[in-house]
């Protein structure tokens, strides 16, 4: 990260914005209005902003549908039969994979279930799953019901790892130690890549290496990591992963998910899966014959034909990501989040009212900071909103703030800090 001396001043924030090589991208997004003014939007960890090009991308497909009807599957620009391939270069760059290892399809929790069919194969010796305590509810429910599907008891099979007493985040050594402790019975490590509540980025490489050494497989839910934290899924050897596209990937509420399957599994005939015809060899798909023959790579996990309107909205954002570049986005993210951290610490001083529970090491976090507020709580959060700040409240007393490098500015962060300072004084 660039070595810089932060200052609590608007002129400093303005100077940083003037020098920002990504500043032009801010104007490519719509900002919600609060009390007649553009919001300070720090909620990309929940729903990213809409690119201004999204409407035209969707309209193009609506026009194709209107003009071509069913022929749109095979004719016209970006024929629907193959259009999923268009997103692969950007997705591969975002998650650190080869193009044949990724595909956009379904939604996140559906993909987790489908991938678990392939990669959680419990037997009388190996049946345990390691995950983080306090995982996002969908992940908890998914793991619980997958274990029950195999006729097993979640209490015996799911090992939930909690931070040490008095700490908020998991130590990597404790995760690796748990893998060693349960190695004889461990079938799978399945956890978030970035923990939604604390904002901690786990050491996915170390976890993967350790789990593979004891004969277990590894998968990650990258809902809060994709488009946010640096990822090298292929290099790290991760078995599988999935993510959503509506948070940092700015592709619209509830929009299409994506999956990663490491290429070593691409042609494993012994790997079971729940199949559909869009995962069948596309060269033979319209023969309409029995006998599933999976496509090579992640495409072989597809089921139904592509959601064209969803992919269009997705592509509008992915094209922006390719232009901006993950390396540049990450560099700005570290500076922007570091500035927010600095200002919060300056305001808090030794009052003890605020506590950042996200790791201080930039390598262990994305752009999100989770702020534990010991006085004022939800009243302070509501005051933020009345003053134009969109963040995210999580019970019992955590505010999640995510200054997103594609569309947030240093001036946004400074103005938030002044609002925070005023709000704390009001409820002191």
Q: For residue range 10-34, list pLDDT tens digits in order.
A: 999 999 999 999 999 999 999 999 9
Q: Which residue has the higher pLDDT, 381 or 428?
A: 381
Amino acid 267: pLDDT: 82
Q: Is the pLDDT of residue 301 over 90?
A: yes
48-61: pLDDT as tens digits:
999 999 999 999 99
Q: H/E element holding 373?
A: strand 369-373
Strand partners, 355: 372
Say whether pLDDT at 175 is over 80: yes
Whole-angstrom distance, CA of residue 70 vs CA of residue 387: 50
* Residue 197, φ and ψ in degrees, nearest 5: -85, -45
Could you read off the pLDDT of 200-255 as tens digits, one per residue? 999 999 999 999 999 999 999 999 999 999 999 999 999 999 999 999 999 999 99
Q: What is the pLDDT of residue 361?
A: 97
Model confidence pLDDT, tens digit, residues 180-190: 999 999 999 99
Q: What is the pLDDT of residue 2?
A: 56
b/e code 67-88 from CB counts within 10 Å (16+ = b): eeeeebbeebebebbebbebbb
What confidence category does residue 340 fall into, taking pLDDT thresholds of 50, 70 and 90?
very high
For residue 259, what is the enclosing H or E element?
strand 258-261
Mean pLDDT over 290-318 rounds to 95
Q: Say yes or no to pLDDT of 322 above 60.
A: yes
Structural domains of the chain in order of their starting residue, each with its CATH number: 10-30+326-426 (3.90.1150.10), 58-322 (3.40.640.10)
Q: Is the distance from CB of 392 to CB of 381 less than 8 angstroms?
A: no
What pLDDT score was predicted for residue 269? 74
Q: What is the pLDDT of residue 428?
A: 63
Whether residue 303 has pLDDT greater than 50: yes
State residue 243's pLDDT score: 98
Q: Residue 372 above 90 pLDDT?
A: yes
Element (H, E) at 370: strand 369-373
Q: What is the mean pLDDT of residues 52-76?
A: 95
- pLDDT at residue 145 in the model: 98
Categorize the per-residue pLDDT at 424 as very low, low, confident or very high, splitting at 50, 70 and 90. Answer: confident
Tell me the average pLDDT across 258-266. Answer: 97
Mean pLDDT, the chain, whole residue set: 95
Tell which wins on pLDDT, 377 or 177: 177
Q: pTM of the predicted model, to two decimals?
A: 0.96
The whole-number pLDDT of residue 1 equals: 46
Worst-scoring range by mean pLDDT, 99-103, 123-127, 346-350?
Answer: 346-350
3 state DSSP class of 200 = strand
Mean pLDDT to the nearest integer, 320-327: 98
Which residue is it, tokens 């999640």?
400
Q: What's the confidence (pLDDT) of residue 377? A: 83
């Amino acid at each position: 990260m660039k070595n810089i001396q932060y200052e609590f001043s608007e002129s400093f924030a303005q100077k940083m914005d003037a020098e920002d090589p990504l500043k032009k991208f801010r104007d490519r997004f719509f900002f919600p209005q609060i009390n007649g003014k553009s919001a300070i939007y720090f909620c990309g960890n929940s729903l990213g902003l809409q690119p201004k090009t999204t409407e035209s991308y969707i309209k193009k497909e609506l026009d194709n549908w209107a003009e071509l009807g069913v022929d749109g599957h095979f004719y016209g620009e970006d024929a629907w039969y193959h259009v999923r391939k268009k997103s692969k270069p950007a997705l591969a760059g975002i998650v650190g994979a080869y193009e044949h290892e990724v595909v956009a399809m379904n939604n996140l929790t559906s993909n987790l279930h489908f991938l678990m069919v392939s990669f959680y194969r419990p037997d009388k010796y190996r049946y345990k799953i390691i995950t983080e305590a306090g995982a996002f509810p969908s992940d908890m429910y998914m793991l619980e019901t997958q274990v029950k599907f195999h006729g097993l008891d979640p209490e015996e099979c799911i090992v939930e790892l909690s931070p040490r007493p008095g700490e908020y985040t998991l130590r990597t050594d404790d995760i690796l130690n748990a893998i060693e402790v349960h190695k004889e019975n461990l079938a799978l490590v399945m956890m978030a890549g970035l923990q939604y509540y604390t904002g901690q980025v786990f050491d996915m490489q170390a976890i993967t290496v350790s789990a593979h050494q004891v004969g277990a497989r590894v998968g990650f839910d990258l809902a809060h990591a994709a488009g946010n934290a640096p990822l090298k899924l292929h290099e790290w050897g991760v078995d599988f992963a999935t993510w959503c596209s509506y948070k940092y990937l700015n592709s619209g509420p509830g929009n299409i998910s994506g999956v990663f399957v490491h290429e070593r599994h691409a042609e494993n005939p012994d790997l079971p899966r729940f199949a559909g015809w869009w995962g069948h060899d596309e060269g033979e798909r319209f023969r309409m014959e029995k006998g599933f023959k999976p496509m090579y790579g992640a495409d072989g996990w597809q089921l139904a034909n592509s959601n064209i309107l969803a992919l269009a909205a997705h592509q509008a954002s992915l094209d922006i990501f390719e232009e901006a570049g993950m390396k540049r986005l990450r560099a700005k993210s570290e500076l922007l989040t570091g500035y927010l951290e600095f200002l919060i610490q300056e305001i808090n001083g030794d009052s003890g009212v605020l506590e950042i529970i996200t790791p201080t090491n930039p390598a262990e976090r994305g752009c999100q900071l989770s702020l534990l507020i010991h006085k004022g709580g939800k009243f302070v959060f509501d005051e933020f909103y009345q003053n134009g700040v969109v963040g995210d409240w999580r019970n019992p007393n955590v505010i999640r703030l995510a200054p997103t490098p594609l569309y947030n500015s240093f001036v946004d962060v400074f103005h938030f800090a002044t609002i925070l300072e005023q709000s704390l004084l009001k409820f002191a």
